[in-house]
Amino acid sequence: MKRVQFEHSTIPYLFVAPQIVIIVVFFLWPAAQAIYQSFLLEDAWGLSSQFVWFRNYKDTIFSESWLQAASFTMVFSALVTFLSLAIALLLAVKANEVIRGASTYKTTLMWAYAIAPPVAGLMGNLMFNPLIGDLYKFFNAIGWDFDHKLDSFDAGFVVVLIAVWKQVSVNFIFFLSGLQGIPKSVNEASMMDCKSSFRRFWTITFPLLAPTTFFLMVINITYAFFETFGIIDTTTRGAPGGATNTLVFKVFQDGFRGADLGGSSAQSVVLMLMVLALTVVQFRFIERKVHY
Amino acid sequence: MSKVQLTNVRKTYPNGAEAVRGVDMEIDSGEFIVFVGPSGCGKSTLLRMVAGLESITEGQIQIDDRMINDVSPADRDVAMVFQNYALYPHMTVRGNMSYGLKNRGMPKEEINQKVTEAAKMLRIADFLDRQPNQLSGGQRQRVAMGRAIVREPKVFLFDEPLSNLDAKLRVQMRIEIKRLQRRMNVTSIYVTHDQTEAMTLADRLAVINDGKIEQMGTPIDLYNNPATLFVASFIGSPQVNLLPATFDGQHLVSGDVKLPGFTDLPTSTDLVLGIRPDELHLDDNGQFPMRVDIVEQHGSDNLIYGGILGAINEGDEETEFCFKAGQDMLPELESTLKLGFNAERAMVFNKESGERLR
């Protein structure tokens, strides 16, 4: 079979041009800059620089603070992804069963979607303020010696809580539409085949939601890695002692606050490679177990 | 071998809509019952109430003298075949068929044996390890039936199972369903809007209209002796010919058409005369002058459609009759045929109530 080949025209290239330009200007060019910068050592005033090969990488990546940020990022991302997916799934399944006032429930649960991460961070900041924060007072009132300014676990708790709260609504919307995409008759057939609703969920509903879950997992890991910057910047700013530094926040801190452009660039190059590896792993191994 | 009994079953939705308005029915062991009616008449709702997918507002449903109103669908010991098959897309054919048995805690060897047996019976043994999306419509329908068969339920429920198949396959599967049901001798309830399916499958037919049973009986009994205008016009293909008329004491009168041979009819009410297309015949002294409009050649016989000259019109349309004739009867279009009928075999209904008067 020979495929029909139409005459070439320049119009398709014009259509993709804006996208290509955006990728080049906002991704490829900065990425190339970062790679170039990561081999340079600059003085504090930015007047002179010198080519130092991999010294920036060695200095930053093997430093204790980078390793701390890396391990916090892993734990933080795992917690945020798992918790926000689990809570959203539970809410979606329950909201899907509601018959009376269903749209009110759903709208209320989607509310937080409209809130930008920095705003969520600011709200969290107020709620955890030692002087006027209700949650701060509540935790102390129930006997938890809570102080996120000093205790690294408490600080981690605050950022995870805010990040999860912000993300649940997004996941909820997708899970709900995923649930509504399951044919009604399949649900009914399973009701006649299986008495236990718990078992029905894990054998029918959950496997049929797998494509949605996989998609959301990718989205959520990306969110936890990058978008939570706004939350951390408005709440803990990596305190206490860098305990809540994510890799992205540390890149920003070292580059713009610490004026270490070379080290910061080296970190962002490493981060790029990590994300690349993560994407490969996700699509290679997890997608195989997903039924479309 | 199970009996099913419905006693004054009603379904009212929260918005006040009444889908089923008091149905009484007794279904014998091994009987094949078909619910037939136009869409929206409540036949599917009634079936789903037996299945447990729809709550029962009022009345009782019993299977073998056990009240099942509040029994969960999985515990009613009924199996259902859905219109769009409702297979589990993430499971293989084998997984689909064994799912219900696994959940009932049946040992593995026994499940395997039953699945293999059912697959052989339905000729899907070669597809057991495929996913539903790799099967054709007819094969999927077989899997759906296999899923019901392996459960060995007391009652089979079919919700328009053939309407997604093409015409040829539908006829094949229809015969197969009938054969399977005979062989397994399981009480079955089958819902359809297709009157041919209903006539050919049913031991007994329930014609449902507007949430009520209009008439119930053997298919041929319903065809020959419809109790109402609705049943008469719903059962039979091509449809019964209907002619609006009144009775003047000696004749049924419809415009210029005067029909003798009728007695004992009310003179003050509007009536409808019903004549099956195969009850008409060519007759030089016939009372119906028909202007031929369309001739459909079906092979063994021809269906000749045309307006009856001089008869009362319903709205703007001429009253149109269908005349079933042999294959060599090919009248010219626009020509006029004289048709006669046997008054003994004609049906007369009260137009208002639909009740049959003779």
The whole-number pLDDT of residue B10 equals: 93
Contact list, A190 vs chain B (CB under 8 Å): 88, 99
CB-CB: which of B51, B75, B80 is closest to A195?
A: B75
Residue A251 pLDDT exceeds 90: no
Q: Name the band, by pLDDT with cuts 50, 70 and 90, for residue B216.
A: very high
| Token pair recorded at residue B169 | 């396959």
Q: What is the pLDDT of residues B236-259, one digit of tens each?
A: 888 999 998 889 888 888 888 888
How far apart CA A58 and CA A74 sit, in angstroms, is: 21
| Three-state DSSP state, B29 | coil
**CB distance A208–B78 less than 8 Å?**
no
Share of chain B above pLDDT 90, in %: 65
Q: Is B238-350 in CATH node 2.40.50.140?
A: yes
Rounded to whole angstroms, the Cα distance separating A168 from B23 reads: 48
Mean pLDDT check: name the lowest of A19-28, A33-42, B29-38, B165-174. A33-42
Task: Kindly report, residue by residue over B136-176, the tens digit of the pLDDT.
Answer: 988 999 999 999 999 999 999 999 999 888 888 899 999 99
Report the predicted TM-score, pTM, of the whole model to 2 decimal places.
0.81
Q: Do A192 and B99 touch (CB under 8 A)?
A: no
List all residues 6 or more positions away from B130 whose beta carbon is below 8 Å from its beta carbon: B92, B93
pLDDT at residue A100 in the model: 75
Q: What is the mean pLDDT of residues A262-269?
A: 87
Residue type, B40: G
Distance separating alpha carbons of residues A272 and A278, to the nearest angstrom: 10
Band of pLDDT at residue B101, cut at 50, 70 and 90: very high
Place of tokens 């509540």: A138
Residue B6 has pLDDT above 60, yes or no: yes
Classify B314 as helix, strand or coil.
strand
Which of B53, B87, B103 is opposite residue A188, by nearest beta carbon?
B53
Under CATH, which architecture does the A56-289 domain have? Orthogonal Bundle (1.10)
A200 SS3 class: helix
Helix extents (H) in B225-313: 229-234
Nearest to residue B335, comparing CAs of B304, B312, B314? B304
- Closest by CA to B229, choosing from B280, B273, B277, is B273
Query: Domain limits of chain B?
Result: 4-229, 238-350
Q: What is the pLDDT of residues A46-72, one digit of tens each?
A: 777 777 788 888 888 788 888 888 899
C-beta of residue B214 within 8 angstroms of C-beta of residue B310: no
Residue B277 has pLDDT above 80, yes or no: yes
- pLDDT value at residue B292: 92
Using CB atoms and an 8 Å cut-off, which of residues 201-240 of chain A contact chain B?
203-204, 207-208, 210
Compute the mean pLDDT over every residue in chain A, rounded to the nearest whole number.
Answer: 85
Q: Do B103 and A189 touch (CB under 8 A)?
A: no
Pairwise CA distance, residues B25 & A146, whole Å: 69
The amino acid that residue B37 corresponds to is G
Question: Does residue A186 belong to the interface with chain B, where contact is any CB pair within 8 Å?
Answer: yes
pLDDT, residue A79, reads 94
Closest Cβ–Cβ partner in B72, B79, B86 for A185: B86
**Residue A169 · residue A175 · CB < 8 Å:** no
Regarding an ipTM greater than 0.95, the answer is no
| pLDDT confidence bin for A290, thresholds 50/70/90 | low
Could you tell me whether strands B320-326 and B301-308 are parallel, antiparallel, or unpaired per DSSP bridges? Answer: antiparallel
pLDDT(B315) > 70: no
Backbone angles phi, psi at A259, to 5 degrees: 55, 25
The pLDDT assigned to B145 comes to: 92
What is the nearest CA distance from A199 to chain B, expressed in angstroms? Answer: 9
What is the per-residue pLDDT across A150-188, written as a single tens digit (0 to 9) for each? 888 888 888 899 899 989 988 998 999 899 889 999 999
Amino acid at residue number A255: G
CA distance A89 to A171: 8
CA distance A252 to A249: 5
* Phi and psi angles of residue B349, each rounded to the nearest 5 degrees, phi first: -120, 155
**Cα–Cα distance between B100 and A217 in angstroms, integer?**
31
- CA-CA-CA-CA torsion for A140, A146, A149, A152, nearest 10 degrees? -170
- Reduced to 3 states (helix: H, G, I; strand: E, B; else coil), residue A131 is coil
Q: What is the pLDDT of residue A82?
A: 96
> What pLDDT, on the 0 to 100 scale, is given for residue A287?
66
Is B93 within 8 Å of B128 (Cβ atoms)? yes
Please check whether the domain covering B4-229 is classified as CATH 3.40.50.300.
Answer: yes
